[in-house]
Structure 1
């Protein structure tokens, strides 16, 4: 097959991966403000899409790490071919779709790295991958960044509750809801500066491998534009399954915690982008939410859900690498192999989409019901729904009070206490 055709196929698949990265990682920025009510769902994803688009133009350091760092460029040219990159991308896309269906906030970045490394090892051998760069720019940040972000979120949450511990301060906690609009926007911007760069790096590597760019070339402007638009469009489509997990599946997020978690995530990702670390914003966001959950007294972490997320972190790189390696073995058979890879990837994508329609995410969790309803109800209808829920809650409290009186529980209040049990 003509090298130009292969390069075009790789670019198309890379752009699709960028799209899946967008809807897979929307939750990184917008799960907590949606859960706390700081932003309406559709407004939240729209803001995230715009800021992802802007962020993609702010840095290319991560793209350089991928196009000229992880995969070695030998003296006679690069050691990887466009067909290998195609196989790696198939592995990354398949893993992204599987974890999306399960609602697991796994790392799109590590899925991409795993797919590329697996395909390169099979197609070009051990010397094609610079494991020193993989360790310093991928593995170590993957371990340290969630811990740093979690510690920062824990400290920020404790500090915020300490500042607002007095009655007057407690009344000011609502200000954190406004602050969430800013911090969640910063996370979306940071996501664009890091995750969009990865697809830029892959396309640039493909153009170098195909002989269309020289070794060490930076991403062309059209590559930056296409990748920015793809991740922004993917972000706008939502990603409600993972928003469900991060917004309510890990801990009951309050506005103060949401503000702290988002600020910690944004600071960590922006610093990593500046240093060229190919970071997983998903892992950073999850670590921040756990840290913020631990920072609030009485806050509880769903450790079962957290455990599943951590397991997904550990298996993403090898799992996507295995798929990428298998796809490369198939793709080495020439045109027929590439066609089989393409059909395999398409079949998995279609199959997962069909499965997702059988059990829509909006039906699986109360948070998702609220997300879906808030997306379609008018302001008047939302107010009426809120009033109805408030009336139902008040009626339930009255029934509980009547039952307490019936069984004589109210007469057990200590002498000198008011009817509500508080000291006079």
Structure 2
């Protein structure tokens, strides 16, 4: 197992180094005129960037001192997002580069032809007037030397400067696109999640529970970047929707209670008629699940640890995240759902969408999940689709419906691209109403 991990780490580092070398070559070497201050500065950026990125990841997972995590998180994780979009933009620029070079060479050739002087017409001199060659002492004659041949410069004769121009245009456009994308995506996260509303009809839901509203909050990811201020934005947004119940479906934190307890404190102000409920996500088990379960209890949230409670009109159940299996605390669907009255509607809180298959086997009517972030950074949604049955939104699996939230926060880079953060208000509808 250790050997596999080491090999995977070496492959990842090799890919990381190769990608950065490629970017350095296109954005630094090809856009500068030899060694100089500009090239040295660019090289320093492409060396420091990956070092900070790896350091941010290592310090977070190794639970390094929190001040160090916060120091490295912003530059390291933002570089992670930036290098992704630099790669995408520079690769796209490879298509544009030869076309732009051709245009530049054609314009240069046209300008050269327009600037060249027209040749003067040749004047024929009568043969009688031409001077005769003087005889040499040995009696031979020396013919006149022909004028030197003049050949026009080929269209690409100024190749180095034209290549530099093309590299600067393509590289500048790629850098601008990447920086703009990351800036906009980061602003979207820091601004706070928007509210999304979804109506879900349930066949077993009684008329008395028609219109019951559940605020689904997932993947807040409080940590070195998203702190107390962000938690307060989430709380304000949830309370503004006036839900009947609040479901926090995992990945609340990335760090210990000691470091993030103050950041999570605003969650005590969540308000709903039937309370706020919590299930673990995989990141809780990276951060100390037991201590966080106790902490959310002190904040007024009710953990559902492979458990179920009866609410007016339906059952609310929750299962632990799959990551809990590493600590002997994995999901137990039989414990949570095995002895329930299957004539009642059941809503299940489960962090990962892949748990839907067990939910179907246990006659769950609706599963509420998160985990995917909707891909977070496009084209990450394509990767997420390989590992999850549903990446975002509402889908049906037999008689069971699955709703996956994109999440309120972000992991790693505080950035989202084409996967906006949300808090979803799920309104349950009775078909008997």
Same fold (TM over 0.5): no
TM-score normalised to the size of structure 1? 0.21
Q: Which has the higher helix share?
A: 1
Q: Which has the higher strand share?
A: 2
TM-score normalised to the size of structure 2? 0.21
Task: Pick the structure with greater CA Rg.
Answer: 2
